[in-house]
Structure 1
C-alpha cells in the first residue's frame, strides 16, 4: 500500500514538473517602467532584454514593452547603474526603481545627453556615421565638467557601435575609455568581449577572470563570464580549460533554465571538442544542442543544425551531415511559407557563422557532400538549384562557387562541352563579383576615413577636457574619495559584525543559563517530591504493622516487618533515581501487594500478569510510580467491599515503542469511597496521588511525554476502578 502511495506521489510530481515546463514556453507581453527610487523620475534609454532573445529600450517616460516567456530573466542594463535582474513568473507589470542617481542635476543636465544617446541607438545598425555624430553631440553638450556616468554611457555606446560594424580595435579603445569614468560589471563584460573579437585572448581571459570575483554579477552575467572565459581559452588553443568553463556556464544555465544559453554552450563545447579531434564527445554535445534548440525559435534550430552539419562534414560523417542539410531545407521552406523570404541573420549569441543561412548555400553544401562521396549525378541537381536560387537572391558568392563546382563535375564526368559552357558562366559571375568587391572596398575605405575623422573629433573633445582638468587630479580625487568611503564602510561593517557577534554570544549564554536553571529546578522539584513519597509510603506501611501488634499477632508482625524491611531497603536504594528498570519496579510491587494481602486476606485476591512477548528489560519507569495507585485500590476500594474482591495488574504490548500497564479492582469505586471519607479526610488531598501527578508532569516535560496515566471507572454503575499507564521506551 505504501509503495502504491509513493508511486502515485511520484507520478503527480513528474506531471506537475511537465506542466510547469510546458507553461514556461508561453509567450507573454511584459510591460513596466524604470524610474529613480527617490523621486520616481523616469529613466530613458535603458536596455531591457529577455534571455529568450528580445531587446527593447525605455522611452522618454521610462516605459517599455517586451515579449518574453515564463522563466526568462529580464535584464535592465545601463552604465548609469548596476544591471538589475528579474525572474518572470507571470504576465504582471515589472516596475524597476533604481537607487543612487543624482536626480537634482539629472533632469536639468541630462535631458539633451539622453536624447542624443537615444538617437545614436536608433541609427546604430543602419547608419554608423549618424550614430557616431550623435555620440559626439552627446559628449559636446556635457561640457568640460560633465557627469562621469553620462560620459561613460557615451563611450560605451560608441564601443557598441564600432563592435556591431566590426571595428573591434576602436570598440576596445572606447570601452576602456568608458571604464575610466565609471566601472561597472556590465562595461567590463563589454570590454572583455571586445578583446575576444579583436583576438586579444590573454587580455580577455584576464578580465573575465577578474569579473568572477564581482559579487554584484547576476546569474545571467555569470553565465556570460564563463562563456567568455571558454571562448578566450579556445582562442588560445586550450581545449581543457575552454570546456571546463563552458561546462560551468552550462550548469548555471540549466539550473536557471536559461534555454538560449543551454543551446549556445552545448554547441561551443561540441566545437571545442571538435577542434581537439575528440569526435565522440563533440557528437554527444551537438546532439544535446540540437535537442535544446528544438524548443526555441525555428531560426535558432536551423542555425544550430547548420553548425552541427559543418562539423559532420569536417569529420567525414557524410550521412549525418546529409540528414541535417535536408532537414534544413525543409525548415527554410516552412519559414518561407510563413511569409519570410530569407532566414534572418544570426544573433550575436552564436557568433561563428557570419553569413545568412540560405537555401542556395545549403544546396551547395549538399552537392559538395555528394561530390566527396563520388555521387556526381546526384550532386548536379543540387548545384543547379543552388545556382538558380543564388541568381534570384543576387548571392554572387554562392552563385560563383556553385557554378565553378558544376563545371568541375561536368569535367570529371567527361562532358567537356557542358563543362566549358559552365566555366564561361562562372567567369562572368566572377567578373561581376570582382567588380562589386572593388566597389565595396572603395566604400569601405571611404567609410574608414569617415570613421577616423569622426573618432578624431571625439578624441579632440577628450583632449580639451584633459587641458581643463587633468586626469591625474581627477584620479587622485577619485582615489581619495574611494579610500575615505572605503575606510568608513569598513569601520561600520566591523562594528556591526562585532555587535552581532557579541549579541550572539550573549544570547547563547542566556539560553544555556536559562536551560540549565530550568533543568536544575526540575531536578530539585523531583527530589522534593520523592522525599515526600518515601515518608508517605512508610507511614501507610507502618499502619499495617501496628494493626498486627494491636491484635497481639507477634509472628505475623515479625514476618511482616522482615518483608517490609526488604521492601524499604529497595525503595530507599531507588529513591534518588528518576527512572529504574521496569523489572525492579515489578519486584517491588509484587512484594508490596503480598504484604497488603497478608493483612487483608479476606478482602481481595490479586494477580500480576505480564505478556510473554514484552521485553520488560528494555523499559525504564520512575520508582514508586505504580504503588500509590495500587494502595488506593486496596485501601479505598477493596477494603470496604463486603465480599471478596480482586486486584489485577496486567502488562501488555501497546506498540513497538510502548507498553500498557493496567491496575484494575472491583472495589466500591471512587464515588462511594469519597462518600465514606470523614470530614477531616475530605479536607485533605491525597499526598500520594498529588505527588504522582506532579512527578509525571515534570518527567514528561524533561523526557518528552514518556509516561501517560488515565484513571477511569471500571463499571458503568461507578463500581471498580481502572488505572491505565502507558510507558514509552527511552
Structure 2
C-alpha cells in the first residue's frame, strides 16, 4: 500500500508540472460540447453543387460533400473548418455555432490570381431556415424546437428533406432523454434516406433506451468502410459501451481497443483519452484492478495535456476507482487536485449540479474518504464546506448526503449535541428534497405530455400527408385509364414494329446461313479439283521413274495440302499466309514445267500485308489457269508474274499476268469435257466472290482481261482487296 501511495504522489507531482505548462493552451482548448455542423458548397453564379470537396476540422474529424454538395461534420465552438478542393483555394473558417454554413465558390478564371469564396449564414430556402431554428432552440426550448420541425415537415418536398427533419427531431428527443421517441424518429429518418450518421445515432438511442441487442445489431449493420475516422471510433466506442452494460466485458474491451487503434492512428486526441478511461473502467468491473490502474494513469496523463476540465473528469473517475478498492489516501489526493482544477474553471466554465465536477460533490467525497479512515478532524471541515457550497447552489441532494454524513461523524466522535443538530438539519433537507422531487415529477409529467402531444401532431401530419397523396392518386386514376388505351394502341404498334424487325433479322440471319453453306460447298468443290491436279503431277513423275523428284515434289505438296486444309473452313485468312501458299504452289508448278515458264512474285515494300485479309484459295485457280491453259502450250519459254501494290491507304491490287497463248487459243485447244471443267472452276470462283461481297460489302473485286496485243496475248487477272 505504501508503494502505491508513493507512486500516486509521484504521478500527482508530474501532473501538476504538466498543468503549469498547459495554462496558455488551456483557455483555447476548454472542452466544449460537440455538435453537428451542416453546410453545402456551391458555385456562386450557377448555384450548382460541388461534390467531393474535402471538409476537415482541426480536431480530427473529416468528411466530404455528397453529390448534392452537402456535408455534415462533428465539431465544437472555436474549431477551425478547413475546406479544400482542387478547383479553388483552400478556405479556413472558425465555427461559432451549429448554424448551417453555405460556401459559395466563384468560377475559376484563367487570369485570376486567387479564387474567392464567401459564406452565408442563412439560406433562402425556407426548409433549411426552419431546420436551423430547430437546432438553435434544441437545448433551450424543446417545445419550440419541435414546432420548427413540424413546420419544416410542411415545407419538405423531398425524401432527403424528410430524412433530415426526422433526424433533427431524434436529436431533440435524445437531448431531452426521451429515448423511445428518439428511436422512433431516427428509424423514420433511416427509412427515408439511409446514412451512416443516422445509423450511428439510432444505435446510440437503442443503447440509451436499454434495447441492447437492437443497438448491437444496428452498430454491426453499418458499413465500416464508408465511415469517416471519427465515425469509426464512435462505432467501436458505442459497441464497447453496450457490451459493458450487458456485462460482456471482454467484448467491450476488444471494441474499445479497436477504436483506440483508429484514434491513435489519426490523432483523434479526445477519443484517445475517453477510450483509455473506458477501458480502465471495464477492467475494474471485470476485477482486473492492476490493468485498470494502468489505463487510468494513461487517461489522466492524456487529459492533463488537454484542459483542466478534462483533467478533473479523469481524476474524478480514477478517484472513484481508488475508493472502490479502499485506497482512500490516494482518492483524497486525486480529489484535492480535481478540486483545484474545478476552482480554476469557475470563471471559464459553467458546471451545473448534475455534473460530477461540482465543488460540493468533491468536498463531500473527500470528507467521506477521511471518515472511512476514521480521521474525523479532517473529515468535518470538508463536509461543512460541501454543505455550504451545496446550499449556495441549491444542490439539495449533496447537501442532504453531506449533512447526514456529518451527523454520523459527530455521533461516532461522541459529540452528540452536534450530531443531533446535524440530524435535524438532515430531516429538514429530506422534507425539502421530497417537496422538490414532487414538483420535478409534476413538471416532468407535464413536459412528457407536451412532448407526446407534439409527436402526435407530427404523426398526424404524416398521416394527413399520406391521405392527401392517396386522394391525389385516386384523382389521377381516371386520367391513367384514359391514357391506358392510348398506351395499349401504341404498345401494339411497337410490338408490330418489333415483330417486323425480328422477322427481318431472322431472314437476314437465314440468308447469312445460306451464304455460309454455299461458301462451304464451293470450297469443298475447289479442294478436290486442286488435289486431283497435284496428284496427276506426282503420278507423271512416278511414271517417268523419277522417284527422287516425285518424293521431293510429294513432300512440298504435303506441306501445301496441310495449309490448304487448315484454311478450308475460313472465309478470310491473312494475306501474308495466302502469299506463302502461292509461293509454295507456284514453286511446285514450276518444278514440273521448268522448261515452260519462269516466275516472279513482287510485293511492294510499303505495303503492310498484315493489315489485309483474303479469301483462301482465291488466287490459286488463276495461277493454275495461267500455267495449265496458257504457258504450257506456249512454243517458247514463258513468264508468270505476280505483283502486289497498294493504290490507297485501305486498298491493294494483286496482279497475275502471263504471256501464254491466251484465253481464246486455249479454249480452241480444249476438248469439250475440258471446257466444261474449266467453266465450272471459274464459275465457282465467281460465285465465291459474289457471296463474299454480299456478306462483306464489296470487299473483293476480280477483273480478267488479255495481257498484250502480240501473238501470245496472254492473260491478266487483277484482284482488288479492301481493308476491314
Normalised by the length of structure 1, the TM-score is 0.51
Determine the C-alpha separation between the residues in 2 that align with 1:409 and 1:246.
42
Report the aligned-residue RMSD: 3.8
Give the whole-Å Cα distance in 1 for the aligned partners of 2:135 and 2:179. Answer: 18
Matched, 1:410 2:428: no
Matched, 1:152 2:163: yes
**Paired position in structure 2 for 1:193:** 204
Q: Distance in 1 between matches of 2:228 and 2:303?
A: 24
Q: How does 1:324-403 map to 2 (within 5 A)?
A: 324-336=334-346, 339-340=347-348, 342-343=350-351, 355-403=355-403
Residues 219-248 of structure 1: per-residue CA shift (max 9 Å, x gap): 111111111111121122111111001001
Report the Cα offset of residue 383 of structure 1.
Answer: 0.5
State whether structure 2 residue 221 is matched by structure 1 residue 221: no
1:511-590 equivalences in 2 (<5 Å): none
1:345-494 aligned within 5 A: 355-469=355-469
* Greater CA drift, 229-238 or 166-175: 229-238
- What is the distance in 2 between the residues matched to 1:118 and 1:374? 56
User: Does 2:190 correspond to 1:202?
Assistant: no
Cα 1:285–1:309 shift into 2, 3 Å: same
Q: Is the 8 A contact 1:299 1:344 kept in 2?
A: no
Deviation at 1:371, TM superposition (A): 1.3
Is the counterpart of residue 141 in structure 1 residue 141 in structure 2?
no
Q: Does 1:305 align with 2:315?
A: yes
Aligned to 2:61: 73
Name the residue aligned to 1:93: 91
Aligned partners of 2:179 and 2:67: how far apart in 1?
A: 20
| Residue in structure 1 matched with residue 40 of structure 2 by the alignment | 34
Secondary structure (helix, strand or coil) at the match of 1:34 reads strand
Partners of 2:102 and 2:147 lie apart in 1 by 31
Quote the offset at 1:455 in angstroms. Answer: 0.5
Give 1:294's aligned residue: 304
Cα deviation for residue 98 of structure 1 reads 9.7
Residues 26, 308 of structure 2: 8 Å contact kept: no
**Distance change in 2, residues 1:426/1:77 (3 Å):** farther
Contact 1:407–1:419 (CA under 8 A) maintained in structure 2: yes
8 Å CA contact 1:230–1:242 kept in 2: the answer is yes
Q: State the shift of 1:444 in Å.
A: 0.8
State the shift of 1:390 in Å.
Answer: 1.0
Q: Output the CA distance in 2 between the equivalents of 1:89 and 1:39.
A: 19
Q: Distance in 1 between matches of 2:378 and 2:25?
A: 44
1:93/1:462 CA distance change after superposition, 3 Å? same
- Structure 1 position 304, deviation (Å): 1.4
Cα displacement (A) at 1:156: 0.4
Distance (whole Å) between structure 2 residues aligned to residue 26 and residue 393 of structure 1: 25
1:15 is matched with: none
Q: Could you list the per-position Cα deviations for residues 462-510 of structure 1 after superposition, in whole angstroms to 9, with x for gaps in the alignment?
A: 1122334479x9xxxxxxxxxxxxxxxxxxxxxxxxxxxxxxxxxxxxx
CA contact (8 A) 1:82 1:186 kept: no
2:242 maps to 232
Secondary structure in 2 matching 1:374? coil
Equivalent residue pairs, number: 407
Cα offset, 1:215, TM superposition: 2.3
Q: Which residue of 1 aligns with 2:326?
A: 316
1:118 aligns with 2:132: yes
Per-residue CA deviations over 1:132-160 (Å, capped at 9, x if unaligned) read 11111111223xxx201101111000000
**SS in structure 2 opposite 1:394?**
coil
CA deviation vs aligned residue, 1:365-405 (integer Å, no higher than 9, x gap): 01111111221222111101111111111111111110111
Kindly report which structure 2 residues correspond to 1:164-175, keeping only aligned pairs within 5 A, or say none.
164-175=175-186
Distance 1:27 1:363, change over 3 A: closer
- Separation in 1 of the partners of 2:278 and 2:46? 43
CA spacing shift, 1:391–1:196, aligned 2, 3 Å: same
Cα deviations by residue, 1:200-221 (Å, 9 ceiling, x for unpaired): 111111111121x342211111
Say yes or no: does 1:272 pair with 2:272: no
Shift of 1:416: 1.2
Q: Secondary structure at the match of 2:194?
A: coil
Q: Which has the larger radius of gyration?
A: 2
| Residue in structure 2 matched with residue 726 of structure 1 by the alignment | none
Query: CA 1:191 to 1:262, structure 2 compared with 1: closer, same or farther past 3 Å?
Result: same
Distance in 2, matches of 1:428 and 1:390, equals: 15
- Cα distance change on mapping 1:208 and 1:250 into 2, 3 Å: same
Q: Is the 8 A contact 1:227 1:246 kept in 2?
A: yes
TM-score (norm 2): 0.52
Greater Cα shift, 302-311 or 120-129 = 302-311
CA deviation profile, 1:627-671 (whole Å, cap 9, x unmatched): xxxxxxxxxxxxxxxxxxxxxxxxxxxxxxxxxxxxxxxxxxxxx
SS in 2 for 1:215: helix
Q: Which sections of structure 2, spanning at least 5 residues, go unmatched?
A: 1-21, 30-36, 75-79, 94-100, 105-122, 474-724
Residue 50 of structure 1, CA deviation: 7.8
**Partner Cα separation in structure 2 for residue 134 and residue 333 of structure 1:** 39
Q: Distance in 1 between matches of 2:403 and 2:38?
A: 54
In the TM superposition, what whole-angstrom CA distance separates every residue of 1:55-87 from its partner, at most 9, and x where no partner exists?
Answer: xxxxxxxxxxxxx56xx3355799985656999
